[in-house]
Structure 1
């Protein structure tokens, strides 16, 4: 993939882009770690993260950054970060598979609910899938020791990777609680609807949210691939 440089007559300076990406990462980190974070928060976070990776790619493609990344000392750090990024790509693939399975389980729940049958088996299957996704994060260390000589570019990539893992981990945690936490009583009382109708509405909303998460991870995956290609191009100069 060819790098797309800015064509405007007054392009932003690399330092300005650097600062902007750093601020976006700090803001997103606070959002993801908030106790009040919801599925919608994570959907929006995935889109923001994809934009951040887009900003990092623009930085990678500037002549000054490419010259710095090709320096002998930085080259080692960049190659190490390229290796670590494979873990995130694998996570994105795994999460996409989980989202697909969760959507299918929710669809099964809707069918069982419409027939008026017992839904405990489907609920257990949903929770089991969500908690299975959580377990994979225990094998990953989000804390990465960065060399003090690493360039700010490499450190930004490391920060973006760590936030990506945290966001995906938080997403799996939130999803595991969606069916466990009862929400129908208040809604039913307020809107005078039956519990079954309320549950169906919540399940359809959950299905849509999982679809949004799936799209967000797909977009993020594409941006991660673009970053890797740009880095490899820079190292080949």
Structure 2
């Protein structure tokens, strides 16, 4: 079972048990092995950046295996026989939706990373003093608001895909049945990994804890110890959200402010590194998803 959606904590994606009625080629078993690896990593319920990067890597391996499956003559023949089946059209439609979600995740990472770099640049050069820094932070949070809105939209897309994921073949062809079974599970775990990634980028835990915080509140945010306690429970994106809120909202001595600046810069650097790793993983996966779709379209057009 995957992590609950930040839009609805009680809503979960369920990975169906894998059952291949026929395994005409070892690649079907290889796909199943990759599926089980991803399911196992999801069951571990880890939402760290390294864990999500590992899931993306496993997902890339899975879709690479799917592409090899698409190249088999027996698989291509099955697709040609099934080209008029409803599940083939649904597969093509949802492949576009996955590409849209992948693009949304990449855009969210790039947007957040660029804004974080602007803050780092301002802090290093001391441009505009405290007011200049505060303005950059306001821009950052405005950007985060846009990012989270886009993530919410992408999560809705994921939910719509999940609700329609029970496609099946009306034929009894063993290869077609095996294909449908594998591709159904590939879609299910892909949805789960993307949801985990989007939830991570949104920093949903930090958001729920910060709902009552005013941006300029100096009553709650001037307690650095409390902020440090919160940071232990969130990811790199949520760490930066919380740290920047604390820094612009608190009144500190000069020495304390220097220490806070160093902490924030460290958080921003970690966010940039994390974003870069996730972005690279997504880019590889995005290219593979496109190639798989092209391969399928070429087969169906023959």
| TM class, shorter-length | 0.7 to 0.9
Matched, 1:157 2:178: no
**Structure 1: which 5+ residue stretches go unaligned?**
1-12, 184-192
**Where does residue 168 of structure 2 map in the other structure?**
147
**Where does residue 49 of structure 1 map in the other structure?**
59
CA shift for structure 1 position 233:
2.3
Matched, 1:23 2:88: no
**Where does residue 213 of structure 1 map in the other structure?**
278
> Residues 100-143 of structure 1: CA distance to partner in whole angstroms, max 9, x if unpaired?
11111111222344436447525523542442233121243223
CA distance in 1, matches of 2:149, 2:40: 26
Query: Are the counterparts in 1 of residues 97 and 157 from structure 2 also a CA contact under 8 Å?
Result: no
Matched, 1:108 2:118: yes
Query: Are the counterparts in 2 of residues 70 and 235 from structure 1 also a CA contact under 8 Å?
Result: yes
Distance 1:55 1:29, change over 3 A: same
**TM norm structure 1:** 0.78
Query: Are the counterparts in 1 of residues 237 and 271 from structure 2 also a CA contact under 8 Å?
Result: no
**Where does residue 84 of structure 1 map in the other structure?**
94
CA distance in 2, matches of 1:179, 1:228: 32
- Tell me the SS of whatever aligns to 1:180: helix
**Where does residue 200 of structure 2 map in the other structure?**
174
**Structure 2: which 5+ residue stretches go unaligned?**
1-22, 171-175, 204-235, 244-257
| Stretch deviating more after TM superposition (171-180 or 202-211) | 171-180
Query: Are the counterparts in 2 of residues 127 and 179 from structure 1 also a CA contact under 8 Å?
Result: no
Query: Are the counterparts in 1 of residues 67 and 292 from structure 2 also a CA contact under 8 Å?
Result: yes
CA shift for structure 1 position 179:
4.2
**Aligned ranges for residues 33-48 of structure 1 at < 5 Å?**
34-48=44-58
**Where does residue 218 of structure 2 map in the other structure?**
none
> Residues 26-81 of structure 1: CA distance to partner in whole angstroms, max 9, x if unpaired?
22133245432211222222222122111111111111111222114775422320
**TM norm structure 2:** 0.63
**Where does residue 14 of structure 2 map in the other structure?**
none
CA distance in 1, matches of 2:264, 2:182: 43
Residue 156 of structure 2 is aligned with which of 138, 151, 174?
A: 138
Distance 1:134 1:198, change over 3 A: same
CA distance in 2, matches of 1:84, 1:21: 19
Whose RCO is larger (CA < 8 A, sep 6+)?
1
Distance 1:169 1:33, change over 3 A: farther
